[in-house]
Structure 1
Amino acid sequence: MRTPPSGISATRPAAGAAPAAPVADTAMLRALRRIRVPQTQRNRELALLVFAFVVNGSAVVLVQLGAAGEVDPRFLIYLGVLTALVLALHIVLRLVARDADPFIVPIGTLLTGIGLAEIYRLDVHWHRHGWAAYSTRQLAWAGIALVGAVLLVMLLRNYRVLFRYTYIFGLLGIVLLLLPIIPGLGTEANADVWVSLGFFSFQPGELAKICLAIFFAGYLVRTRDSLTSVGTRFLGFTWPRARELGPLLVVWLVSLGIIVLQHDLGTGLLIFGMFVAMLYVATGKTSWVLMGVVLAAGGAWAASRLLPYVGSRFTNWLDAFNPDLMGGSSYQLVQGIFGMAQGGLIGTGLGQGRPWLTPVAESDYIFASLGEELGLIGLFAILCLYMVFTSRGIRIGLNGQDDFGKLLAVGVSFTIALQVFIMVGGVTRVIPLTGLTTPFLAAGGSSLVANWLIVAILLRVSDAVRSRPRVVIG
């Protein structure tokens, strides 16, 4: 057996584990495997993608037959272009990331297609055509998002390079969050979360969550030792010392600042929840989660008492069916609930419901629109897709060989799950409604681009987890 080159040694296996192969032999075996062994992961991904393409195309045809009574080939051609971009991403993965997770891209494709079909259904009712149609813009943004994912997979050969720019990403995330409140950039809306550049508008908070996830991962890797230091034992938990509470309090105050300055309850909850989850994964201390829940609950209670915007959200949530509110502030919430009730167990069928009765049915209430036409069974299937997506992302992180990749994968995956919970919980009246988008489904270019960039990050991390040899360089 060959001796490893100077400066590189095989990792010592754990007790009971098989001894690690020398580096030279490991590299040779990897090369032979890539040449001779079929790409099992990519073949599995291709089979799942074919299933997703069939479902998406069938959904659009059913919408056209149900809402218009005829099949319009033009939109199917547009959808075919999007399908070609997904196949391009698949081919790129075969070339540069052969061991990437095979479930991430098909799930993202299926969710994006289902959302497109429902948005197109609403456009058919309102007779919107061309660029005025939300579905046309969603198709364009989906194409941009897929091109961005392809470029990120090709250019980010080693995701660990992001660790070097931890604080730059943190600064960029803060700048993105502050853009909507800069005079001349913000737009007139209920919440100051949009930035207008004249020819298009975007929501910088969606990209900020990725930058902050990279920052949190790098920061927690650097400071984990101090955060896990011995504290005070109380009520069965080890509570950190007061000086270790600084990062948690800073992020909590930043989240409250977003709620106060931008009237954006959703983004504030999302950022704080993401940080608490990554903090728990980095330290393994349940006390951080308990303190995070207490701070979040206390901040929400104070905001509901001091901020009229937040207070009205809580009032609509607690007393939605009050006749004095149903015709005004809680009208949207009540209409969404009635729409899902109309769908029942199996739904009215794609193109045969009346989702347009709910205001903003293509974005904030896309879940309620799908609930009316797909029924409870369809909603459960969509939630299962989200569950699989999140579980795969968390599994990628937990199987990682470095702490940065572990925290990054878990952080972005948990962000998707938390965003789904916030939106679905708001639409179904489990929690107060906030101004976020349902990932992949809702109309919104910024959200779609950000979510497909998350897909690319998870693909890169998963490829490194599966293919990287166990070596120590030194």
Structure 2
Amino acid sequence: MTTQPQSPVAIAPPLPTRRNAELLLLGFAAVITTLALLLVEANQEQGLRWDLLQYTVAYLALFTGAHLAVRRFAPYADPLLLPIVALLNGLGLVMIHRLDLSSGELMSPGLGGTANQQMLWTLVGVLGFSLTVIFLRDHRLLSRFGYICGLTGLVLLIIPALLPASMSEQNGAKIWIRLPGFSIQPAEFSKILLLVFFAAVLVSKRSLFTSAGKHVFGMTLPRPRDLAPLLAAWIASVGVMVFEKDLGTSLLLYASFLVLVYVATDRISWVVIGLALFAAGSVIAYHLFDHVQTRVQTWLDPFADPEGAGYQMVQSLFSFATGGIFGTGLGNGQPGTVPAASTDFIIAAVGEELGLFGLAAVLMLYTILIVRGLRTAIAVRDSFGKLLAAGLASTLAIQLFIVVGGVTKLIPLTGLTTPWMSYGGSSLVANYVLLAILVRISHSARRPILPSQAAPPIASARTEVIEKV
């Protein structure tokens, strides 16, 4: 009895994790940040002090630690996500330091002022990022706590409206929780919790949103009794706009919900109905509440009151005009003339000193980040991960549009901050947690499937044929 010789089994080489590329890009981000800081110091005639070196070393050590956490616990994550955010965060730190200098806060030693505080919040944010990557081993665990996340998110939204103005109001908006020696903007964390809730509900109740109704103008409308979730989201968003005077958060949460519904159902009718409801609520709020009228009138004609309500917008437009195409150069402009330049209007400061060219480069970084997030949503295998990744990336895109549109007078000013660049601890820490969840989903999407997890050959072939069709 003879035996047939067996052909050798081919072992596929392990897929590259691209972690070395991520480390190289982080070094590139550190070089750009350091050069930007040196330009500011030189143009402001501050001199090159040795104590500035400690900030470069701290920056490198901070993001190297985050890189090591990703390398160990999410090795297949997208290698572009962390370096892009590190560069945006670094440029934001430099611009905040620049604004400290323009306001006369010449501190010694180190950066000082709000830049020191922002560096501390960066430490907290990167630590939160690393802990989330380490302990959130599987993003699908979040779906089990969807309703808890939704309830917690709503409570965080409501708390500022219930507090007295002295503990919650700033610049006319009731969006803060102020405690002795500490303050927090809960809406920044609420947006993440509500996105988890929206994704979990849309996965578990998908049949509710895909039920067939009447056909009007080529659209399949939902049944009236299925509109309850949309009406609840609408009421919550209008309530935030009216009672907390926060148009930005209201628009951000509601638009994010509509995006997730559209991704889950592929029906434009939900978006049309949702936008119609929001437009109707905005019109009603405009006629009933003075602060909404003031915001809209300032948007339509800020030069009608250039020394009063329109002062901030007028100064922002002047900053963009001064910057032109290539800007005045880091440290050579006058970005401090814009009120709240380090928070709501940091894009105006970037536009003045880096010009249209530099601002476009910054927006391109955000665009790459958003596109990579959407690619993660396409690649991940589970429905909850697809919706959550799409929601996180879309939220960044919507927030960026609202911020840039507001400071350029494209839409009414909202008061949202630019992710990872603007000064503010709540925004920075929350956005780092958002990034960590996106990194974790990216790892699940890009990691190779083990043989024990692979589908049977017939099912795999059938799936491949269906995907090709």
Q: TM-score normalised to the size of structure 2? A: 0.90
Given the alignment of the two structures, is residue 56 of structure 1 paired with residue 33 of structure 2, yes or no? yes
Q: 1:428 aligns with which of 401, 408, 412?
A: 408
CA-CA distance at 1:197 after TM superposition: 2.1
- CA distance in 2 between counterparts of 1:210 and 1:411 reads 9
CA-CA distance at 1:472 after TM superposition: 6.3
**Aligned residue in 1 for 2:4:** none
**Aligned residue in 1 for 2:173:** 191
**Aligned residue in 1 for 2:397:** 417
SS in 1 for 2:205: helix
1:346-357 alignment, distance < 5 Å: 346-357=326-337
**Aligned residue in 1 for 2:69:** 92
**Aligned residue in 1 for 2:351:** 371
CA-CA distance at 1:108 after TM superposition: 0.4
Gaps of 5+ in 2: 1-8, 457-469
Q: Is the 8 A contact 1:64 1:72 kept in 2?
A: no
Against the structure 1 CA distance between its residues 192 and 472, is the aligned structure 2 distance closer, same or farther, given a 3 Å change threshold? farther
SS in 2 for 1:240: coil
Cα deviations across residues 264-311 of structure 1 (Å, max 9, x unaligned)? 111010110000000000101011111122122222222222111111
CA-CA distance at 1:73 after TM superposition: 3.3
1:42-441 alignment, distance < 5 Å: 42-128=19-105, 129=107, 133-183=113-163, 186-189=167-170, 190-322=172-304, 325-441=305-421
CA-CA distance at 1:132 after TM superposition: 7.1
- CA distance in 2 between counterparts of 1:110 and 1:181 reads 35
Q: How many residues align?
A: 440
Cα deviations across residues 83-126 of structure 1 (Å, max 9, x unaligned)? 21111111121111110001110110111111111100011122
Q: Is the 8 A contact 1:353 1:373 kept in 2?
A: yes
- CA distance in 2 between counterparts of 1:199 and 1:472 reads 56
- CA distance in 1 between counterparts of 2:340 and 2:289 reads 24
The AA in structure 1 aligned to 2:202 is L
SS in 2 for 1:353: coil
Against the structure 1 CA distance between its residues 468 and 161, is the aligned structure 2 distance closer, same or farther, given a 3 Å change threshold? farther
The AA in structure 1 aligned to 2:25 is L
CA-CA distance at 1:432 after TM superposition: 0.2
Gaps of 5+ in 1: 1-24
CA-CA distance at 1:80 after TM superposition: 2.3
CA-CA distance at 1:399 after TM superposition: 1.3
Q: TM-score normalised to the size of structure 1? A: 0.90
The AA in structure 1 aligned to 2:407 is V
Q: What RMSD over aligned residues (CA atoms) do the two structures have, in Å?
A: 1.9
SS in 1 for 2:220: strand
CA-CA distance at 1:384 after TM superposition: 0.6
The AA in structure 1 aligned to 2:183 is S
- CA distance in 2 between counterparts of 1:429 and 1:232 reads 39
- CA distance in 1 between counterparts of 2:198 and 2:377 reads 15
User: Could you tell me the percent identity over the aligned residues?
Assistant: 43
Q: Is the 8 A contact 1:397 1:409 kept in 2?
A: yes
CA-CA distance at 1:169 after TM superposition: 0.3
- CA distance in 2 between counterparts of 1:289 and 1:67 reads 50
The AA in structure 1 aligned to 2:330 is L
CA-CA distance at 1:40 after TM superposition: 4.3
CA-CA distance at 1:61 after TM superposition: 0.8
Q: Is the 8 A contact 2:36 2:330 kept in 1?
A: yes
CA-CA distance at 1:346 after TM superposition: 0.2
**Aligned residue in 2 for 1:13:** none
SS in 1 for 2:167: coil
**Aligned residue in 1 for 2:463:** none
CA-CA distance at 1:468 after TM superposition: 5.3
Against the structure 1 CA distance between its residues 468 and 296, is the aligned structure 2 distance closer, same or farther, given a 3 Å change threshold? farther
- CA distance in 2 between counterparts of 1:208 and 1:345 reads 38
**Aligned residue in 1 for 2:438:** 458
- CA distance in 1 between counterparts of 2:387 and 2:329 reads 41
Q: Is the 8 A contact 1:280 1:286 kept in 2?
A: yes
The AA in structure 2 aligned to 1:52 is A
- CA distance in 1 between counterparts of 2:195 and 2:413 reads 24
- CA distance in 2 between counterparts of 1:345 and 1:275 reads 37
SS in 2 for 1:121: helix
CA-CA distance at 1:386 after TM superposition: 0.8
Cα deviations across residues 50-70 of structure 1 (Å, max 9, x unaligned)? 111111111111111112341
- CA distance in 2 between counterparts of 1:69 and 1:199 reads 31
- CA distance in 1 between counterparts of 2:278 and 2:455 reads 42
